[in-house]
């Protein structure tokens, strides 16, 4: 995995009272709750930061007491999200469409629907 790649969300997400979940892309668009590590990466997957920046940022939250298995854990989290189709990687920064740019609870429903239609979100 190339740490200079940018990472970005590919699924609509929700953040209610600290519980991050993603919506299935196809009907019935079920809400899938995520473990805290996975949720954190989804929240940060804005297409403007590299995997290395993600790893450095999360490590900084430990205030110098980074767990021994930290890099292995982060690698596993990132790979699980890529395999599930919740995030993707890019060699260059990406601007997310409206419906992926913020939690669903903060979106204007009409703008989100238009954004999904324009990007053919449910067709891909």
Residue located via tokens 């920046």: 53
Q: Which residue ranges form the domains of the chain, and what is each CATH number?
A: 6-123 (3.90.930)
Q: 12-67: per-residue pLDDT in tens?
A: 999 999 999 999 998 888 999 999 989 999 999 999 999 999 999 999 988 878 99
Question: What is the distance between the alpha carbons of residues 56 and 52, in angstroms, rounded to a whole number?
Answer: 6
* Percent of the chain scoring above 90 in pLDDT: 88
Residue 123: pLDDT over 80: no
State the SS3 of 18-65.
CEEEEECCCCCCCEEECCHHHHHHHHHCEEEEEHHHHHHHHHHCCCCC
Handedness of CA 6, 51, 72, 14 (dihedral sign): negative
pLDDT for res 64: 79
Q: 70-106: per-residue pLDDT in tens?
A: 999 999 999 999 999 999 999 999 999 999 999 999 9
Instruction: Name the band, by pLDDT with cuts 50, 70 and 90, for residue 124.
Output: low
- pTM for the whole thing? 0.92
Question: What is the distance between the alpha carbons of residues 21 and 108, in angstroms, rounded to a whole number?
Answer: 18
Burial of 74 (0-12, 13-18, 19+ CB in 10 A): middle
Specify the DSSP element, H or E, that contains 94: none
């Amino acid at each position: 995995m190339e740490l200079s790649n940018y990472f970005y969300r590919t699924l609509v997400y929700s953040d209610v009272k600290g519980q991050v979940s993603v919506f299935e892309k196809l009907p019935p668009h079920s809400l899938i709750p995520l473990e805290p590590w996975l949720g954190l990466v989804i929240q940060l997957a804005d297409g403007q930061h590299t995997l290395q920046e993600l790893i450095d940022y999360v490590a900084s939250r430990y205030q110098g007491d980074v767990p021994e298995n930290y890099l292995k854990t982060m690698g596993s989290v990132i790979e699980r999200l890529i395999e599930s189709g919740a995030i993707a990687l890019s060699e260059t920064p990406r601007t997310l469409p409206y419906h992926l740019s913020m939690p669903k609870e903060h979106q204007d429903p009409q703008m989100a629907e238009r954004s999904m239609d324009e990007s053919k979100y449910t067709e891909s």
